[in-house]
Amino acid sequence: MLMTLTISMIMMILSIVVMLMANILSKKSFMDREKNSPFECGFDPMNSARLPFSIQFFLIAVIFLIFDVEIALLIPMISIMKIANMMSWLMVTFFFIIILLLGLYHEWNQGALNWAK
């Protein structure tokens, strides 16, 4: 126990020393205006580099990912059907699909699926 603690402390101290030495010896200049400015063919940018992002698109993408993962969880249930008890398999599958449908209804009811407003 003591040996493990000693080795852990030595490794921690060694890694901190290496990080500090790398930070001190690096020749990076954070105050250089040219390096911090965005590059656009050598000229100053005409407009902002960040484009506005549609929150509605983000919500649809998140909902798609959630339901995609849930479908990936449903696929193994087909192969388990042969070796599982049929009553317990039906109950678990039915419960899982009911949760999916309730989530879909909730998203629909909240208006997250309406693209045009």
Determine if the pTM surpasses 0.85. no
Q: Is 26 a member of any domain? A: no
Number of domains observed in the structure of the chain: 1
Question: What's the pLDDT band for 9 if we cut at 50, 70, 90?
Answer: very high
Q: Is 22 a member of any domain? A: no
Q: Are 69 and 100 spatial neighbours (Cβ–Cβ below 8 Å)?
A: no
Number of Cβ within a 10 Å radius of residue 66: 14
Least Cα distance to 56 among 101, 117, 100 occurs for: 117
Taking only the tens place, the pLDDT of each residue in 55-105 is 778 888 888 888 888 888 888 888 888 888 989 889 988 998 898 889 889
Q: Is 49 a member of any domain? A: no
* Residue indicated by tokens 């001190």: 24
Q: Is 17 a member of any domain? A: no
Q: Is 21 a member of any domain? A: no
